[in-house]
Amino acid sequence: MKSYIKDQIDTFKERNQNRGRLLVSCPDQPGIVSTISHFLFSFNANIIESSQYSTNPEDGTFFIRIEFECPGLMEKAEKMEQQFDGIAKRFDMEWSFMHVYRVKRAAIFVSKELHCLLELLWEWQSGNLMMDIPLVISNHEAAREVVEGLDIPFHYIPANKDIRAEVEEKQLQLLKEHEIDVVILARYMQILTPSFIAAYPKKIINIHHSFLPAFVGARPYERAYDRGVKLIGATSHYVTNDLDEGPIIEQDISRVDHRNNVDSLKKIGRNIERSVLARAVKWHLEDRIIVHGNKTIVF
């Protein structure tokens, strides 16, 4: 299995060695698209996909994501970034270039419930989530057999609020050693400290088992049942220091009624959680998300 997945990743890298992505946000004004297009044309780059959005054409913020094919991109990349910096200063841009062949390295954190982890692993095996998974970290042993069965290193690190600093020091060291680009919390039921979050800003993706901002924090299904809700949902978001209040990436819902008890709400909710998290991770891997304040623009 590991060889099969490695072959998939190697094929993807080879096929996309000349593929790049450019994400830009800046004050809206005339000439942005034209200038970027002429810049890419000057390097013989062909635009494959382009999506843009403005909060207000008169005095708002402009966002654009461009995917392009550029012969000899690896050799041209440094020069392209140097030249684009001048354009960025002219338009007051926040921007980033990404090389598609550089497959992101993800660490998955999980606790006892495995449905989100299993969904991610299935999507990864099938090639729908193009990422390397150098390790899985858990504060329980429940996921070990599944993870090691796919030849992924599993790290059991017991965690609770009394030893949080010590635990996160070990975790951060592992993430550094494995050169991790994104951290996925697949129902990892521990609160992260500000120092951990600061090490991976806008790179920690969480799944919360409610349709935020409803039922922030613990036991949302129980609270939803007590409230007699008619819709339940799940929310994937970037982690910030404010619990369950980071920029939302994706959400979904399912209708329920008075016949549902807490257990059936949880069963329905798990199906929503795993698909919502998988979509959010996919969009992050494909550089489709721009964070703007406490919101996201998802192309």
The answer, yes or no, to whether residue 47 has pLDDT greater than 80, is yes
CATH 3.40.50.410 fits 105-298, yes or no: no
Binned at pLDDT 50, 70 and 90, residue 205 comes out as: very high
Q: pLDDT at position 141, please?
A: 98
Reported as a single tens digit per residue, the pLDDT across 64-108 is 999 999 999 999 999 999 999 999 999 999 999 999 999 999 999
Percent of the chain whose predicted confidence (pLDDT) is above 70: 99
Q: pLDDT at position 1, please?
A: 61
Reported as a single tens digit per residue, the pLDDT across 101-157 is 999 999 999 999 999 999 999 999 999 999 999 999 999 999 999 999 999 999 999
Reported as a single tens digit per residue, the pLDDT across 234-252 is 999 999 999 999 999 999 9
CB contact at 8 A, 35 and 64: no
Q: pLDDT at position 58, please?
A: 76
Listed in sequence order, the DSSP H helices in the chain are 2-15, 32-42, 73-91, 115-125, 144-148, 164-177, 194-199, 220-227, 262-285
Is 151 assigned a catalytic role? no
Catalytic residue among 151, 244, 252, 263: 244
In order of 61, 116, 178, 288, the CA distances from 50 in angstroms are 17, 31, 33, 11
CATH topology of domain 12-99: Alpha-Beta Plaits (3.30.70)
Residue ranges per domain, the chain?
12-99, 105-298
Q: Which range (15-24, 52-61, 83-92) has the least confidence?
A: 52-61
The answer, yes or no, to whether residue 57 has pLDDT greater than 90, is no
pTM: 0.95
Binned at pLDDT 50, 70 and 90, residue 59 comes out as: confident
The answer, yes or no, to whether residue 2 has pLDDT greater than 80, is no
Counts for the chain of helices (H) and strands (E), in that order: 9, 13
Give the residues across from 49 on adjacent strands.
67
Is 79 strand, coil or helix? helix
**Both tokens of residue 217?**
């924090």
* pLDDT, average across residues 256-270: 95
The answer, yes or no, to whether residue 215 has pLDDT greater than 90, is no
CB contact at 8 A, 241 and 289: no
**Both tokens of residue 248?**
């939302």
The answer, yes or no, to whether residue 163 has pLDDT greater than 80, is yes
Q: pLDDT at position 3, please?
A: 77
For residue 206, which amino acid is it?
A: N
